[in-house]
């Protein structure tokens, strides 16, 4: 901190230090320890520990429970930083997303998202060149319990994780408790039946989609991969028939669906 900053009563030092921590991550970094963050920022280790804890609570950092190290979280997208620097999944998913986007319906949109609190944040989007398509872009925030892609992320959690996510969502929207509990039952049934989750007008009447969960290769992060479009141009029957199998194949190629413990498992077989 320079002399001008230390004498400026409007300058919030704690905020500046938190931003210094977010800014110390480089494109080649996946995870950093508190020790590495302290070395890069020049901050005292106790200060770094308090700030990384706070940034984890706000969703701006994600902590690996096994190593205690941190990476940038999806919440950083809202501040104009790039969460994509912390993971190569969006690059690896590109070809599979292109294949899905080039399927039989020219009006579909393909997206990859990660959880941030009670939302699913789009990290990558592929769409056809048609003028009529979903206008959701990178950084879009979808409700975790009502969108297909949010439901897919929930489906990958263990029971304790799902209950925790439900409690957090109800705390934010207590008047929607019954609707969220119904959504949780529905997404688990869909995942059991199809190997992916559905969202046929549950979030917005004009949006329909299906989504499957997948984890990073190291098992530390869970994402959702979806296929969707305007409901008047993309039907649920078409998504099940033409895109469901292709979606599951894409997830398998990218590493499969991960359990809450990080073990790679495959989605349940779709019932006929």
Q: And the tokens for 2?
A: 């320079």
Fold designation for 3-83: Arc Repressor Mutant, subunit A (1.10.10)
Contact 260, 155 (CB under 8 A): no
Q: pTM for this one? A: 0.67
Q: Domain segments of the chain: what residues?
A: 3-83, 87-265
| Residue 182 confidence (pLDDT) | 97
| Residue 79 confidence (pLDDT) | 59
- Helix extents (H) in the chain: 3-6, 13-23, 34-41, 45-57, 89-101, 148-155, 159-172, 177-194, 236-238, 244-253
Burial of 108 (C-beta count, 10 Å sphere; 0-12/13-18/19+) = buried
Q: Do domains 3-83 and 87-265 have the same CATH topology?
A: no
pLDDT in tens, 13-49: 889 999 999 989 876 788 999 999 999 999 999 999 9
Q: Among residues 6, 21, 91, which one has the least CA distance to residue 51?
A: 21
pLDDT in tens, 50-69: 999 999 999 899 999 999 99
pLDDT exceeds 80 at position 77: no
What CATH number does the domain located at 87-265 have? 3.30.450.40
pLDDT in tens, 219-263: 677 899 999 999 999 999 999 999 999 999 999 988 766 444 344
* Average pLDDT of every residue of the chain: 85
| Residue 47 confidence (pLDDT) | 95
């Amino acid at each position: 901190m320079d002399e001008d900053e230390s004498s400026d009563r409007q300058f919030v030092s704690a905020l500046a230090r938190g931003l210094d921590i977010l800014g110390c991550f480089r494109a080649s970094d996946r995870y950093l320890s508190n020790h590495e963050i302290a070395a890069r920022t020049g901050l005292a280790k106790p200060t770094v520990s308090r700030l990384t804890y706070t940034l984890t609570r706000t969703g701006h950092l994600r902590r690996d429970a096994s190593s205690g190290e941190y990476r940038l979280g999806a919440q950083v997208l809202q501040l104009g930083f790039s969460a994509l620097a912390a993971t190569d999944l969006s690059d690896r998913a590109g070809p599979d997303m292109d294949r899905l986007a080039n399927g039989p319906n020219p009006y579909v949109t393909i997206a990859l998202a990660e959880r941030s609190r009670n939302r699913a944040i789009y990290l990558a989007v592929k769409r056809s060149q048609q003028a009529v398509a979903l206008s959701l872009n990178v950084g879009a925030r979808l409700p975790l319990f009502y969108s297909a892609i949010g439901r897919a992320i929930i489906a990958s959690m263990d029971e304790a994780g799902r209950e925790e996510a439900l409690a957090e969502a109800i705390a934010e929207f207590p008047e929607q408790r019954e609707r969220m509990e119904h959504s949780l039952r529905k997404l688990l049934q869909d995942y059991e039946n199809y190997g992916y989750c559905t969202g046929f007008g549950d979030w917005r009447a004009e949006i329909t989609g299906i989504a499957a969960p997948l984890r990073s290769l190291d098992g530390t992060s869970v994402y959702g991969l979806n296929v969707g479009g305007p409901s008047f141009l993309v039907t649920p029957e078409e998504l099940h028939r033409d895109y469901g199998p292709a979606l599951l194949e894409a997830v398998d190629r990218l590493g499969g669906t991960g359990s809450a413990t990080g073990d790679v498992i495959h989605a349940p077989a779709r019932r006929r």
